[in-house]
Structure 1
Amino acid sequence: MPELRTALWRAVTARDERAAGQVVFGALDSGLSSEEVLLDVIVPVQVRVGTEWAAGRISVAQEHAATAIHDRVIAAMAHRDAAGPGAAAGTAGTVTVACVDGEWHALPARILAEVLRGRGYEVDFLGAQVPTPHLVAHMHRTAPDVLALSSSLPTRLPAAHTAITAVQALGIPVLAGGAAFGADGRHARLLGADAWAPDARAAADLLGRGVPRPRPDTAHPPVDGLPHLTDQEYTLIVRGKARLVRNTLAGLDARLPAMRAYTDTQRERTAEDVAHVVDFLSAALYADDARLFTEFLDWTADILEARGVPATVLRPTLVVLADEVKDFPRALRLLERGRAVLDARPSRPTTPGPGITV
């Protein structure tokens, strides 16, 4: 399979959808199953796409193009499988696959949907960014055996919690998956999901063993199991996000004279970066998990350094933001942990380019 992965990598990075299709369908014609092609060829290549983007070796546009090619090739595979022999649809059960409200990364969910179809499930794939009220109404009408809920972004954990709780109230179990729930599933357990799986193959295996249906009369309210939320720090920071971003930018202006020469585009990008910091701080407060915040900062520092920007530019943002949340002890502890992580990073030579943000 390394040869297949190499060939597919060359095709998607060259934006050659025809060549990508030839690789995939050639693999199927050679005897590989759809599941093997999906999980052992396409998924590793897509992971490499993300890794190469993070390292600054391919652009955002190249990453989007490669992802779009994979999505269309997977759709073509599904049409081919539907016309050929295989497990009868629905014989294994019914599963709805959806992304959390606000989650736009739909490819992992799409891959799971196709793996489950290949194993004989009747799959209702709802795609990206499904608003929770509409998801719940759909579950009420269709009553699947299981909801497979996907999210890549930890900032969507509060929305995931609402969806999990509401769907369980209908007596439908929820299988959670995706990077948002933690590499070990800790956030899925925290939010009360009935099951968690680290990848599509594990999810299909788990569903094959069966996921118990929750009892509607034991469904828990959104803050059940999250007593830390009673301090209202999460709620107050979310509600005050616009003010926090605005005041943090003003504080950075005062501390960093170079910012005064920023173009409108640079200031807009800086505001976006500060907003991301606030979003991940909020998510860490919701989950009461410092790792969620520090891992985001460490990842962001890697991204910056790969683009020639010193990771130290993040520190002033945390310092100024701490002044803005001085009355919130949990938030202050998270920011202190974040500064410690940044300070502990080894110094790396960089060549800053235009448009540096903080």
Structure 2
Amino acid sequence: MTTSLAPEVVHAGRLWEAVHDGDEYAAGEVVLAALEAGLDAETVLLDVIAAVQRKVGEEWAANRLSVAQEHAATAINERVIGTLAHTAERVPATRGRVTVTCVDGEWHALPARLLAEVLRLRGFRVDYLGAQVPSPHLITHLHRTGPDAVALSSSIPTRLPAAHATITACQAAGVPVIAGGAAFGPDGRYARLLGAEAWASDARAAADRLVRAPLPQPRAGHQPIDDLPHLADQEYTLLSRSAPRLVKAVYTGLEQRIPAMRTYTEQQRQYAAEDLAHLVDFLATALYTGDVELFTGFLGWTGRILSARGVPAASLLPALDLLGAELRDFPRATGFIERARGYLSGDPVPGPGKTA
């Protein structure tokens, strides 16, 4: 019995082969062939290029692609998007104006670029600002151009505090925000928490939402603390300020518990310190949002990455113990750490994810 694959699946398979081989020219030819075969540009963007980019991330997580290969594949996909944008038929800008941008500190710009191109295909006038846009520069741009909406993208959850500041600044400038990207949660919970006017799960959903109706105007007199009253305990602020000290203290404690770490090379020490910094950053962000699931989700993801590289996920437990000892005077933080220990140990996590 034979089954025929959908055309976009066939072209995605061919693009994956080209990207995996690092062949930019072959990748461009696949995209042009898909257009010539009758696929519309939006389908090529979202069901061919975006599908391949998801596979790139999955293969890296499974340790079947190196960091260098992942970066090369992403760079090829970015250039392929440019090939499509300059080849596909231009659509007149008959709808509103949208600024598409990444949160300050967010380097993963490809999802935002995909959205920018889809919106252009839907007839919007688009200002695509790219990766890592500081809020003051974004607000200057908004005052100069007067868009109808800002589409804010972030893939890294630790950028949520920066995203909150950006959302608030855009609203103060009178421009509503639609948020998207993995940082805002699979169900958009953090977009809602941080006060965005809308959230979309992907570029197609975002374009559909903006086509359907204008975003509601920002609430007058709204303040960031209105969204997150638990921040009054100052735990997030104090932990963030002491992050370098915490990383150093936990690293020193791990050296005492795990003698092999004392013989690490300088590069190994740097990698270990970076991993600990991520641990502290995700705990801080969980405190910011008041949601322990953000922290346990990071640990689960890290555990899977470690397991794929032959390192048991339980190796995270000593770091949690040491971090908990350093934060013994922080009741919310120690509560999150205790629940994270139970999560890693396979114990049921008591109570709801939301603790604030």
What TM-score comes out, normalization by structure 2 length?
A: 0.94
Identify which of 82, 105, 109 aligns with 1:102: 105
| Alignment correspondent of 2:231 | 229
Equivalent-residue separation in structure 1 for 2:137 and 2:224 (angstroms): 18
Where 2:224 maps in the other structure, the secondary structure is coil
Q: How does 1:152-301 map to 2 (within 5 A)?
A: 152-215=155-218, 218-301=220-303
State the partner residue of 2:133. 130
Distance 1:304 1:140, change over 3 A: same
Contact 1:100 1:131 in 2 (8 A): yes
Match of 1:353 in 2: none
Match of 2:323 in 1: 321
Q: Give the aligned partner of residue 10 of structure 2.
A: 3
How far off its partner does 1:227 sit? 0.8
Flag structure 2 segments of 5+ consecutive residues without an equivalent: 1-7, 348-356
Corresponding letter in the other structure for 1:133? P
Question: Does the 8 A contact of 1:172 with 1:213 survive in 2?
Answer: no
Structure 2: distance between partners of 1:34 and 1:291: 37
Matching residue of 1:28? 35
Deviations 1:175-199 (Å, cap 9, x if unpaired)?
A: 0000000000000000000000000
Aligned to 1:78: 85
Give 3-state SS (helix, strand or coil) of 2:133's partner. coil
Contact 2:149 2:215 in 1 (8 A): no
Provide the aligned length of Structure 1 versus Structure 2. 340
Is the contact between residue 194 and residue 211 of structure 1 (CA under 8 Å) also seen in structure 2?
Answer: no
Contact 1:100 1:159 in 2 (8 A): yes
Gaps of 5+ in 1: 346-358
Work out the CA distance in 1 between the residues paired with 2:221 and 2:176: 11
Counterpart CA distance in 1 for 2:56 and 2:215 is: 36
Q: Spell out, residue by residue over 1:13-50, the C-alpha distance to the aligned partner (whole angstroms, 9 max, x if none).
A: 00011111111100101111110001111111110110
Contact 2:98 2:124 in 1 (8 A): yes
Aligned amino acid, residue 49 of structure 2:
I
Give the TM-score taking structure 1 as reference length. 0.93
1:88 corresponding residue in structure 2 = 92
Of 259-268 and 199-208, the range deviating more from structure 2: 259-268
1:195, 1:69 → 2: CA distance?
31
Please show how residues 323-342 of structure 1 align to structure 2 within 5 Å.
Answer: 323-342=325-344
Separation of aligned partners in 2, 1:10 and 1:332: 47
Q: Which runs of 4+ in 1 moved over 3 A?
A: none
Residue type at the aligned position of 1:57: R
Amino acid corresponding to residue 248 of structure 1 in structure 2? V
The secondary structure found in structure 1 opposite 2:101 is strand
Question: What's the RMSD between the two structures over aligned residues?
Answer: 1.1
Q: Letter of the 2:328 partner, please give it.
A: K
Encode CA deviations 1:36-71: one digit per residue, 9 max, x unaligned.
Answer: 001111111110110000000111111111110010
1:49-64, aligned counterparts within 5 Å? Answer: 49-64=56-71
Cα distance in 1, alignment partners of residues 284 and 69 from structure 2: 31
SS of 1:223's equivalent in the other structure is helix
Retained in 2: the 8 A contact 1:171–1:213?
Answer: no
Greater shift in the superposed pair: 305-314 or 184-193: 305-314
Query: Whole-Å Cα distance in 2 between the matches of residues 225 and 6 of structure 1?
Result: 44
How far has the Cα of 1:270 moved from its partner? 0.8
- SS of 1:15's equivalent in the other structure is coil
Shift of the 21–215 alpha-carbon distance from structure 1 to 2, 3 Å rule, reads: closer
- Measured in 2, the distance between the counterparts of 1:271 and 1:243 equals 11
User: Distance between the aligned counterparts of 1:214 and 1:243, measured in 2?
Assistant: 42
Counterpart CA distance in 2 for 1:330 and 1:339 is 14
Q: Is the 8 A contact 1:245 1:271 kept in 2?
A: yes
Amino acid at match of 2:133: V
Percent of aligned pairs with the same residue? 61
Alpha-carbon distance in structure 1 between the residues aligned to 2:263 and 2:182: 38
Instruction: Indicate conservation of the 8 Å contact 1:173/1:211, yes or no.
Output: no
Residue 12 of structure 1 pairs with residue 19 of structure 2: yes
